[in-house]
Structure 1
Amino acid sequence: MPQHAPNRPVCRHCDGFPTVAITTGTRHRDGSRVVLRVVCPACKGTGHALLSRTGTCVGA
């Protein structure tokens, strides 16, 4: 059965993939790779955009 998620807009900066792991190319002593975990600074790792109101001035 499909899971029902709340209808929230996806972050435009990360497209809903807020956390990534980047390999540095070096390895630990046990042979595993060294990785950096980075979160999206726009959504703070949630994957969802915050609704914001923007006002525009029409006519001047």
Structure 2
Amino acid sequence: MPQHSHAPTRICPDCSGHATAHIATGVRLRDGSRATVPVSCSACHGAGTLVRLLATAAKAV
């Protein structure tokens, strides 16, 4: 039985697919937890993947 071939991945090379990170500000909230700020990847705008055209162009370079 033939195996299915998966489409090539289009993971963002800048963030390696981890598009959003939460950075602690150092401020503590009333409940004792830390305040965080979400920061998105500037290349993929928080998607974790690139448009196929950009992904194929990156491989050619």
TM-score, normalising length: structure 1: 0.68
Deviation at 1:29, TM superposition (A): 1.2
Q: Where does structure 1 differ by over 4 angstroms across 4 or more consecutive aligned residues?
A: none
Conserved? CA contact 1:8–1:49, under 8 Å = no
Unmatched 5+ stretches in structure 2: 1-5
1:15 lines up with 2:28 in the alignment: no
The percentage of counterpart residues that share the same residue type is: 40
Deviation at 1:8, TM superposition (A): 3.5
User: Structure 1 residues 6 and 35 mapped into 2: Cα distance closer, same or farther (>3 Å)?
Assistant: farther
User: Structure 1 residues 27 and 10 mapped into 2: Cα distance closer, same or farther (>3 Å)?
Assistant: same
Residue-by-residue CA offset, 1:29-51 (whole Å, 9 max, x unaligned) = 11110101011111011100122
Amino acid of the residue matched to residue 26 of structure 1? V
What number of residue pairs does the alignment pair up?
A: 50
**Structure of higher CA gyration radius:** 1
3-state DSSP class of the match of 2:43? coil
Greater share of helix residues, 1 or 2? 2
Aligned to 2:39: 38
